[in-house]
Every structure is written in structure tokens, then in C-alpha cells.
Amino acid sequence: MADDIVIQGDGLRKQFTETVIAVEDAKFTIPRGSFISLVGPSGCGKSTLLRLISGLIEKTDGDLLVRNSEVVGPRSDIGMMFQKAVLLDWRTAIENVLLPDEIRGTVSPEAKKKAWDHLHLVGLQDFEFSFPRQLSGGMQQRVALARLLQTGADIMLLDEPFGALDEFTRERLNVELLKIVDDPNITTVFVTHNISEAIFLGDQVFVMTPRPGRIAAQIEIDLPKPRTIDLETTPEFQAYVQQVRDVLASHLEDQPL
Amino acid sequence: MSDIGSDGVLAGVKELSPAKKLFMHLSVFIILFGGWELGSRLGHVNELIMPAPTSIAYRLYEMFFVTGSIYWHYIITMYEAVMGFIIGVSIGMGLAISAAISPVFRRYWAPYAVVFNVTPGIAVTPFIIAWFGFGYSSKIALAALVCFFPPFINTLTGLLHIDKDATELFRSLGATKRQYFIKCQIPTATPIIIAGLKLAMTGALIGTVVAQFFSASEGVGILMQRFAFRLNMDGSFAALIVMSLMGLSLFTLMEYMDYKVIYWRRHSRMEEVSAKRKRKWTMAE
Amino acid sequence: MSMDNEAQVSNIELAADYKGSTGGAVIRHTIIFFVLMFIWEMANRTGFSNPLLLPRPTEVVASIWKIYVTQGNVWYHLWVTFKEAMLGCFIGCVVGIGLAVAAVLSDTFRQFLKPYIIIVEATPRIAVGPIFVTWFGFGMSSKVALAALVCFFAPFVNTITGLLGVEEESYELFRSLGATRRQVFWRLMIPTALPTMNAGLKLAVGSAFGGALVAEFISAQAGMGILMARYTMSLNMPSAFAGLLSITLYGFLLFRTMEVIDKQVLYWLSDDLMTKKSAKRKIKFHKEISV
């Protein structure tokens, strides 16, 4: 494996029950510093693939290597973010950001300072000591992002993190997310069911199709960076959208949604 | 999260096959009661305190099949509890519906409802006995009193907690108050009302039994008290088991009602009902 | 678990409705109350209702004065019942919560417990009263035992419901951070379950009083149950009513106390407490760290 390959899967397979095969024969490589979008309809196994990489669930078969070592469980160089912000209601924003340190027993004045900086980085100055219930949905996801940064993980797995937010908030957060993870050392895998979002964010888009969950196509997105919202109206962008739609359509023809 | 299996720290309960489950429960049961029996036989457990399972079983057998003495007490207790339940539920739900319909009534009734809520219903037992005497009526009255609160509060909560969008939909369709009540409020509130009825059923039985303790000549409650005071513990335990059976049968009845009435919350029932309606629909065509 | 918890949590709502009333409403309520009392009094004096069964409000007030001040005998009985109920409640809650935690942490134990839970739920537990009196005697311990037995169920069920109510994604977050089981339990499960657990404790306090009273009805030398029973048996209804009103009053006070504690413990559910807490934590943070 080349040094700049961070995650590698081959023949990866996850079966829940006899009939439910969530991921089948997945083969992919994810280079360091890249942003991968994982797009597909619900039930196509994209969340399962993400959880396999994170070590939250075990594979049934095949190879899955992160930094050349077999994934056996959650690891500290991988951080996750979910569709729900999953904040602890009884802790203020900054205390939520400090949770990773508390769990690892690494709370220190420096860690606290870092949590403060991370909250500011995600644009939450003046809300450091608000409780989650006092924050809007978008702000809650910002806290979750700050917590992810606090883990110090350089592999970030995001499972439809802004899926529950309104379109405007989501667009803004996507742009900010791109700025934050624009670092040659940070590798990001982003799950979504929104085709435009996947293309807008990704260096590569993995298109997944359901029953069984397969990676049907891996599309390089060759669009200029930094990406801005106006990009979505360009013909190049639309061509990518069409390409993804074609892949999905050819697999979904006969399936009721 | 539709496309992953749940395997959290706790959600990983392995569903055993029914046969295995039964075997597991049976073996635990046998170990538990076998140990108890053995303890009694070997004299480690005082029979006067904890009679052996077999002697309790024998007393049960005697009550039901030899002397048949239990049936009358059983019927009386059931009668008192069910009558109390019906009265208590009618009053509770009646008050709740009035309170839901009329905000004025709700406002003026609220402090008294709080008073009822914080007074344990069974504290009123001596009064009920003084007012209604030593016969059936005092048991029915106490059962009604103890069980009226859960249907009241649950019906009120259910009727008032209607989704705002649903209310707006009905208003936009020009529904009358009556239509809104029957087609929206009542069906929406049904699950929580039935939950209240379940609690009321247990309450009615408790009320009946406590009133019997206080003073009665018939009923499973007084039977078990007499046995206990004569240190006839196996008889007392047998009566307790009869009471458990009574509770279980009433409870099962409520569960069945729940199952039948709230068909839109269970997949198997939905399939059943939708097949039935399809037949009806196509026949009408 | 088939238990429906909606019902058990909802009791608080009506009280909240009540709290919303303004000063004017209080006056109106008071007027209505006195009008009702006046009608009652008149009905009694004119012979429309039997004063022997339903005593006059004035007589009840006189009796309250009597049992609290001139005779002063009610204090002792109140203390006895309070002690029995509180001790029973404490034991019942400890057992209930302990069993619930064990049932939640061990799937096997939960499976074993399931049929017994249904039986215990369906049995009128208070019916064990006579057996307890026989076992534990006529003194305080039988009352404590019955109070404990009667009240253990609500905290038990609510603790299970609360602990099992933790969302899958929260577990995933903790696992992805490499949390130990102990950390998951104390930092995630317990705080998440706390609101439901507290609702169970509130119910337990109420039913503990019921349990203690019933055990006293069955046999006792002292306590509010036996006091009221004696008064009604001798048809001294005004005093019996005074006793019942005391129970209502103390029940209410206890309930309010529990609500106040509840609000303080569950500070993250109350807007004003959150604001206060967040200001405090801010000051503390800045004292420690300069940014």
C-alpha cells in the first residue's frame, strides 16, 4: 500500500441477516487528504460502510485496512459526526466539546483552551456556555463539529451531518466544513443522499446502490477549489449530476422506492 | 437510521427461539421453586413463614376442586372490582371530556384535581366504609375512587395534546367541533386513554381488596387476611395467587382490548385490517 | 417491555396548567371555594344532608384546631406514618432502581425477569398486607415493608424505560470515542434516564403513603391510618376529615418539594436555570483559563 493511501477496502462485505446484505464486494482506496462523498438512496448501505470503517461494526468478510492495519474497533485517529448532533443536554457547548478529552482522561488547561478555539473556529463565539437546548439545530451541529475537531482525529467520518437542517443552513455549513477540512492531512468521508451536495463537497464521489449495497461507480470530481455555491449552476457541475443520476437510474429502474 | 442493524451496547439482545426461551424460563422456575421446596422439606425455611410450594399448590387444588370454596369469593371480588372500574372510568372520562371541551370547567376543576392527585385514594377507606356500610357498595365505591384518576388525567392529556398541524388541517377543511372531536381528538387520544384504563384496572382491584381488608364477610381479600391471621400461611399464599390470577386475567383483557382497538400501531394488525377493508371496498364497487 | 409509560409521566401536566393561573384567578377560585363551603354548611344546618356522615365545614375547622392545638394528638400519628412511608419509600426505591439497573446491564437477567415483572405488575401488591403483618408483626416494620413493596414498581419500570431510552447514535458517539462501559453508564445512560427516573420517584412517594396507611388499617397502634379508622368507627367524622385533610396537605407539600428538587436536578430542562448555570460555569472557566 502506498503511503498516501489511508483507507483501503477489498471484497468488503457486511451481512446482517440471511437476506439483508448491507455491503457487498466493496473495493476502494481513499488517499490521504481527500474528501470522499458517499451518495446513494436510503438503505443502500452507505451508513454501514461508514460504520465499518469507523470500527463500530465488524465486517463479515473481505479486507479493510486503515493506515495499513486491520480495523478491529474504534480508534483514536478516526472521529465521527452523525445526523443528530448527539449533544449531552446537561453540558454546556464547551463541556460537550471537551467530552473526548474527558473520556480519554486528558483534560487539561491546554485541552480547555483548544476546545475554546475549536468553538470559535466553527463560529460559535459567545455561545461557549450555552446549553444544547438553547441552541438552534445548525448551532448544535457546529458544536458537534467542534467536538469532532477536539478528538484530534485526522480521519473524519460524517454521516449526513447536516441532513436534518434547512437548505440555507446546510449550504453555509458545507462551505465552512470544506474550509475546516482543507488540510492535506485530513481525510474526510461524507455520507449523503443529496447528489448536488456530494458533488459540491467531494474530490471523489462513490455512488452506492441498494440490495445488496454495492459501490456502483467512483467518480473523480474535477472542479476548481475552493468551491463556492455558484459552482452548482455551471454546466460542468450539471454534467456530474447527470452522470451520478445515470448510475443510480440504471440500478434502480425496477425497484419501487 | 434505516440501513444499519442496531448493535449498541445494550440493543444486542439475541432473540432466542420460543422453545429455547421456554426452556430457559422453565429451568429457572424449577431451580427457584425446587430450592424453596427443598429448603422447606429440610427445615431450613420455616413453614410458618414461607410454606413450601407444594403445600400452597395443594391448598389451591383444595380450594378449586375439593371444597370449591374459592369460587364465591372470586366472583364477589371480580364483581366489585369490575363495577368499581366501570363507575370510576365513567366518572374519570366524563370529567376529562368536559374539561377538554370547556376551558372554564378545566380552570376551575384543576385545583381539585391536584388535591385528588396528591391524596392516596385508599386513605379514604374508613370514610367509604362509614358511608356505604359493610356490604358490596363500599368495595365498589372504593374501587371507583381509587381507579378514577388515571383515566381522567390520561383522557385529558390525550384530548388536549393534538398535533397543531392536525388541528389546522381540520379547521381548513371546515370541520365542525363535533367532527373534530370524533374524527381527530378521540382517535388520537385512544392509545393513551387505554394506557389509563390499564392502570385503572389494577387500581380497581387494589381498592376492592383494601376495602375488604377493612371490613368484609366475603371476597378473596378477607379470605387471605383471615388465613394470615390464623397463621394458615399456605392458605394465605394460595389466596394471594388467586388474586394474582385475577389481576392477570383482567390485565390480559386490557391488553387484548389494546391489541384490537389500536390496530394502527401494529404491523400484523394493520395487514389484517387493511385486507378486511379491501374486501369491503371491492364488494361495494 | 410492554409497560406504557405515557400515563405515569403525565400527572404533572395538570399541575402546570394550574400554576399558570394569575392573581385574579386565585381570587375567583377562593370565592368559588367559599361559596361551595357555604352551601355545604347550609345544607347541613337545614338538614338536607346528614351531618353525621358529611360534617359541616365549620366543625371540620374546629376539629383541625382540636387535633393540632388543644389535643395536639395528630403530630405523633403524622410522624409515625411519615417515618414508615419515607423509610419504605427509600427501601423500595433502592431495590427498584437496583433491580432495574441490573436488568438493563444484563440482557440475560432482563429475559429471566420478564415473566415475573408481568405477574408483579398485574397483582395488586397491596394485597400482601396481611402476610406482611403476620411476618413482620404489628409494629413499624410491617408498614415499612408494605410501603416498600407498594412503591418499588414505579421507580423500577421508569428506570428501565429511561435507561433503555438512550439513542443508538449516542452509544455510537461514546464508542467511537473509546469510552469504557462505566463511562457510558455514568456519563450517558444515567443523565439521560434521570427525568424518567425522577418521575418514577415522585410516584413512589405517593404510593408509599398509601402502602403505610393500608398496613395501618390492617393492624396498628399508631399512625394516621389507624387514627382515621378510629374516628370513623366512632362516627367522629369531623376529626376524621381533619385527619384526611392533613394527609392531603402533607401529600401536596411533599409533591411540591419533589417538584422543586426535580427542577433543580434536571436543570437542563428549565430555561431560567440553564441561563443561571451557564453564567456560573462561564465565570469558573475564565478564572481557570485565560483566553
A190, β-bridge pairs = A37, A158
- Ranges for all domains in chain A classified under CATH 3.40.50.300: 1-74, 76-189
* Residue C227 near residue C74, CB atoms below 8 Å: yes
Whole-model pTM? 0.85
**Interval A175-185: pLDDT, tens:** 999 999 988 89
What are B184-215's pLDDT values in tens digits?
999 999 999 999 999 899 899 999 999 998 88
At residue B163, the pLDDT reads 85
The pLDDT of residue C9: 37
- pLDDT score of B16: 64
Give which of A172, A169, A147, A168 is closest to A158, Cα–Cα: A147
Once rounded to an integer, what is the mean pLDDT over residues B159-165?
87
pLDDT computed for residue A115 by the predictor: 94
The pLDDT of residue C7 = 36
The CA-based dihedral angle spanning residues B109, B112, B113, B118, taken in that order and rounded to the nearest 10 degrees: 170
Q: What value does the mean pLDDT take over residues A60-67? A: 90
What's the gap in Å between the CA of B279 and the closest CA on chain C? Answer: 32
Whether B123 and C228 lie within 8 Å, measured CB to CB: yes
| pLDDT, averaged across chain B | 86
Tell me the count of A-C CB pairs closer than 8 A: 84
What is the structure's pLDDT at B231? 87
pLDDT, position A3 = 61
Quick check: C122 and B244 CB within 8 A?
yes
Ranges of residues in chain C with a pLDDT under 50 are: 1-20
Kindly indicate the confidence band of residue A256, based on its pLDDT and cuts at 50, 70 and 90.
low
As a whole number, mean pLDDT of residues A55-77 equals 90
Using pLDDT thresholds of 50, 70 and 90, give the confidence band for residue B145. very high
Residue C284: partners with Cβ closer than 8 Å, 6 or more residues away: none
pLDDT of residue B35: 86
Q: What is the pLDDT of residue C107?
A: 85
3-state secondary structure of A219: strand
Where does residue B219 fall: left (phi above 0), alpha (psi -120 to 50 degrees), or beta otherwise?
left
All three cell numbers of A185, joined, read 492531512
User: Are A157 and A82 within 8 A, CB to CB?
Assistant: no
CA–centroid distance for C110 within its chain: 26
Predicted pLDDT at B86: 96
State pLDDT tens for residues B59-72. Answer: 999 888 888 888 99
- Domain at A76-189, CATH homologous superfamily: P-loop containing nucleotide triphosphate hydrolases (3.40.50.300)
| Contact between residue B244 and residue B75 where contact means Cβ atoms under 8 Å apart | no
Answer yes or no: do C188 and A88 touch at CB < 8 A: yes
* pLDDT at residue A21 in the model: 82
Domain B71-260 has CATH 1.10.3720.10: yes
CATH 1.10.3720.10 fits C6-18+72-288, yes or no: yes
A88 with C191: Cβ contact below 8 A: yes
Q: Element (H or E) spanning A22, and its range?
A: strand A21-31
Give the pLDDT band (50/70/90) at residue B5: very low
Tell me the percentage of chain A whose pLDDT exceeds 90. 57
Return the pLDDT at B8: 32
> Cα dist. B191→A195, B106, B159, B254 in Å?
40, 22, 11, 12
Q: Which residues in chain B have Cβ-Cβ distances shorter than 8 Å to C251? A: 118-120
Cross-sheet strand order for the sheet of A61-66: A21-31, A5-15, A61-66, A69-70
| Residues of A whose CB is below 8 A from B1 | 47, 83
Chain C residue with Cα closest to A152: C177
pLDDT of residue C31: 86
Chain A residue closest in CA terms to B2: A43
- Tell me whether residues B117 and C14 touch, CB distance under 8 A: yes
Domain ranges (residues) in chain C = 6-18+72-288
Yes or no: say if A132 and A89 are a contact pair by the CB < 8 Å rule: yes
Question: Do residues A77 and A156 make contact, with C-beta atoms less than 8 angstroms apart?
Answer: no
Which member of B2, B5, B7 has the closest CB to residue A43? B2
Q: Which three cell numbers stand for residue C128?
A: 400482601
pLDDT tens across A96-119, in order?
999 999 998 889 999 999 999 999
Q: What is the ipTM of this complex?
A: 0.87
Beta bridge partners of A70: A65
List, for residues B82-132, the tens digit of each pLDDT value: 999 999 999 999 999 999 888 888 888 888 888 888 888 888 999 898 888
Asked if C172 and A78 come within 8 Å (Cβ–Cβ), the reply is: no
CATH architecture assigned to A1-74: 3-Layer(aba) Sandwich (3.40)
Per-residue confidence (pLDDT) for residue C8, from 0 to 100: 39
Closest chain B residue by Cα to residue C160: B10
Q: Distance of CA C147 to CAs C122, C156, C207, Å?
A: 18, 15, 7
